[in-house]
Structure 1
Amino acid sequence: MTTIEALPLRDLRSCCAPLTRAPLSRANAESLAASLKALADPTRLRILSMIAAHADGESCVCDLTDPLQLSQPTVSHHLRVLTEAGFLEREKRGTWAYFRIVDDAFASIAHLLGRD
């Protein structure tokens, strides 16, 4: 079984017309579905919400484990999935990694769904 990797959202936006204007190619549809699959998880939606609502608009794993009541490896897994899908940016500072929502991530999804 082949795993479909999501294109970064910026790449999807630049390569694909909104699905309401032109049919998506199979490859673009699979990539968009992979990006949406990253969002289709309650924990990941909560993580995005927590990061967006955080005072600086960024969080590290240490800010998320207690409120989510999940272990650090589990939270790190979800952060990696969201980062690879293009929803989060990661910046390493000392021993911690901080995550911030990519500025146009949700605008890119809205564009592809024909809602911009």
Structure 2
Amino acid sequence: MTSELSSYYKALSNPVRLQVFEHVVAYSEGKAPKHKEKTCVCEISDTIGVPQPTVSNHLKVLEEAGLITSVKVGTKCYQYVQKDAAKALLESSKIYYKMAHKNPY
């Protein structure tokens, strides 16, 4: 689990990649326009103002880290958050938060 978390945090260490991931998470949670549950490169590119090839490269890194998965439907490729990865990130963040705010005395 530690190596997985390390790869997750490494993948999210790039600010643009973090924006891309946040966009995919928003869609996966149904917080996107029209309650859509999937998103594609063109939507991400338009939303965050980054060229499509750059977004594609960031999506590849996120997928290789295990944070998202891609599914091809016709000519489009849609991205979804890997729920287990998101849950692991959330749990580790809670632990780090508690550690940072723990009174040592």
Structure holding more helix per residue: 2
Q: CA RMSD in A?
A: 2.1
Unaligned 5+ runs, structure 1? 1-11, 17-27
- Residue 111 of structure 1, CA deviation: 4.8
- If asked which structure has higher relative contact order (CA below 8 Å, sep 6+), I would say 1
- The alpha-carbon deviation at position 109 of structure 1 amounts to 3.1
Deviations 1:59-93 (A, max 9, x none): 10010112222221110000000011011011001
**Aligned partners of 1:99, 1:86: CA distance in 2, in Å?**
12
Q: Please identify runs of 4+ aligned residues in structure 1 that moved more than 4 A.
A: 110-114
For 1:47, the equivalent position in structure 2 comes to 20
> Any residues of structure 2 matched to 1:1-116 within 5 Å, and which?
12=1, 28=3, 32-53=5-26, 54=32, 55-111=35-91, 115=95
Query: Is the CA contact (8 Å cut-off) linking 1:57 and 1:101 kept in structure 2?
Result: no
Question: What is the number of residues matched between the two proteins?
Answer: 88
Give the TM-score of the pair, scaled to structure 2.
Answer: 0.70
Tell me, which stretches of 5 or more residues in structure 2 are unaligned? 27-31, 96-105
TM-score, scaled relative to structure 1:
0.64
Over the matched positions of the two proteins, sequence identity in percent amounts to 34
CA contact (8 A) 1:52 1:58 kept: no
